[in-house]
Chains A and B, each alone.
Chain A
Amino acid sequence: AQSVSQHNHHVILSEAASLELGCNYSYGGTVNLFWYVQYPGQHLQLLLKYFSGDPLVKGIKGFEAEFIKSKFSFNLRKPSVQWSDTAEYFCAADQSGGYQKVTFGTGTKLQVIP
């Protein structure tokens, strides 16, 4: 069965540190990939998405992710985190050509210490 794995369940960083959150998926064919963020008390918001083209995807708030097909990975990065980035981050994948049947990872809780 298709699956999405997030390796880090809880990450604690100091402000200005660099961030990389790992994500691996288990699909063999064409896949669409997403990163969502859920700030405390708020709904899920799309950070960025990859459908095709340039494997380096830039999203909102300075986040970016790189799709590496050979490694089945879609890691999220940010060069310098801020306290306001404290949230839970979800990687997700869809193999059906769009928002048809999205599979989410278990999430990574990021805590940024001022």
Chain B
Amino acid sequence: DGGITQSPKYLFRKEGQNVTLSCEQNLNHDAMYWYRQDPGQGLRLIYYSQIVNDFQKGDIAEGYSVSREKKESFPLTVTSAQKNPTAFYLCASRGQFGSTEAFFGQGTRLTVV
């Protein structure tokens, strides 16, 4: 089945640690996105990538890093520089730039303990 998969579903991190959230898609999509969602809030764009080996900062990139070495994969690292990382993280992908629908993963809920 084609789709976009995020793992793990739940993730716990100790303060000061880096953690990496996985996002994989087999839809042959060029563009991929990472969002953060806090309780009762909307989605805020962290990073996005339109093509392999290229990515751009979104609105809240500080404390996060990404890579796009393969078309299928767009992992997000939450670094220790992110002071308030507890949130719900969503990954999305879509085809040619613009005018197409985005497909979302089921999300990763990150909690700092």
Is chain B a partner of chain A in the same complex?
no
Q: Hey, which bits of chain B sit against chain A, CB under 8 A? A: none
Q: Hey, which bits of chain A sit against chain B, CB under 8 A? A: none
